[in-house]
Amino acid sequence: MFKYEKRLEYPINIKNKDIELAKILITQYGGANGELAAALRYLNQRYIMPDNRGRALLTDIGNEEMGHVEMLATMCYQLLKNASIEEIKEAGLSSHYAEHKKGVYPTDSNGVPFTVSYFASTGDYLADLSEDMAAEEKARAVYENLIDLTNDPDVIGPLLWLRQREIVHFNRFKELYNIYKKEFKNK
């Protein structure tokens, strides 16, 4: 059972349009190292965890990642919503506009649509947790790169918050990995 609160995990109120940043930021929504891939990765991997502790952690983090998907969609929408057709063309988003207008659609920054091949569920809980730690580190690095590409405090605030959550998730996965490595090493 899930409880949905009708608010973002971190408030987003971007006042200035930035079509170029929206084009790049979308990668954390639907790219290989993005939040949608993370959410689906964890929500699928949870089933093979050897105990309720692991299933609960992957369920919790997977659902939090869905909240991050919502945050990024909101950010991309706000950055793009007041853009003119000319600005959209200049930013190289004509093909996006043709198919989605100013709607949010999960792609990477090159326009490559989301695919489930961005994540794995191997059936081996240690291998999956290793992948999860790597995914969190890659997401953290991408957030840092995105922060370098803007000076808008309305964008930097949520990106810093999301970056910090990647660090927390990495640490939680690492703790669980170490526990499982110790407890189940002979099984």
Asked whether residue 17 carries a pLDDT value surpassing 80, the answer given is yes
Residues 156 and 107: their CA atoms lie apart, in Å, by 21
Residues 36 and 114: their CA atoms lie apart, in Å, by 8
Task: Give 77's pLDDT tier (boundaries 50, 70, 90).
Answer: very high
Asked whether residue 64 carries a pLDDT value surpassing 90, the answer given is yes
What integer pLDDT is reported at residue 42 of this predicted model? Answer: 97
User: Could you tell me the residue ranges of all domains in the chain?
Assistant: 19-183
Beta bridge partners of 113: 107
Q: What percent of the chain has pLDDT over 90?
A: 91
Asked whether residue 127 carries a pLDDT value surpassing 60, the answer given is yes
Task: Give 187's pLDDT tier (boundaries 50, 70, 90).
Answer: low
Backbone dihedral region for residue 156 (phi beyond 0: left; psi -120 to 50: alpha; all else: beta):
alpha
What integer pLDDT is reported at residue 6 of this predicted model? Answer: 81
Residues 49 and 19: their CA atoms lie apart, in Å, by 41
Q: pLDDT per residue over 147-184, tens digit each?
A: 999 999 999 999 999 999 999 999 999 999 999 999 87
Task: Give 30's pLDDT tier (boundaries 50, 70, 90).
Answer: very high
Q: Which of 161, 165, 168, 158 is nearest to 75 (CA)?
A: 158
> How is residue 46 written in tokens?
């949870």
Query: What is the three-class DSSP state of 142?
Result: helix
Let me know: does 75 contact 12? Beta carbons within 8 Å.
Answer: yes
Superfamily of 19-183 according to CATH:
Ferritin, core subunit, four-helix bundle (1.20.1260.10)
> How is residue 179 written in tokens?
């526990």
Distance of CA 122 to the CA centre of its chain: 21
